[in-house]
Amino acid sequence: MVISCEKAANICDKAQYKEASSWEKIKLKFHLLMCKTCAKHSVKNKKLTSLCNQARLAVLSEEDKRKMKDTCAKAK
């Protein structure tokens, strides 16, 4: 039931991607009750997740980038 801060941080990261198990989440909740530092970190981590969702970030695929590089090379 008692976990280290490193472990707590790891579970917290996993939870941001919905990859933490229920048991892990219980252990995390328990840790956050006792550890102020981790509790603070956890709040910020959640906030980062919501910011990333809100910004609806987009990236180009590797395929697209390769095509761009080719086109640029030809244009030179």
Partner 1 sequence: MTAHQLHPDNWVDLYADYLFNYAVTRVNDSEIAKDLVQDTFIAGLKSAKNFKGEAAERTWLIAILKRKVIDHYRKINSKNGKAEVRMSFSSQTDSEGAWLEERIADPNSNFENDALVNEELGIAIQNCISKLPKKQAQVFIMKTIEGMETEDICNALGINASNLWVMIHRARTGLMGCLNQNWF
Residues that bind partner 1 (CB under 8 A): 9-10, 13-14, 16-17, 19, 44-45, 47-48, 51-52, 54-60, 64-65, 68-69, 71-72, 75-76
Q: How far apart are CA 6 and CA 12, in angstroms?
A: 10
Query: Minimal distance in Å, beta carbon 44 to partner 1?
Result: 5
Query: Minimal distance in Å, beta carbon 29 to partner 1?
Result: 19
Closer to partner 1 at the Cβ: 14 or 30?
14
Sign of the CA dihedral running 58, 61, 62, 63: negative
Q: How far apart are CA 58 and CA 60, in angstroms?
A: 7
Query: Minimal distance in Å, beta carbon 65 to partner 1?
Result: 5
Residue 18 DSSP class: T
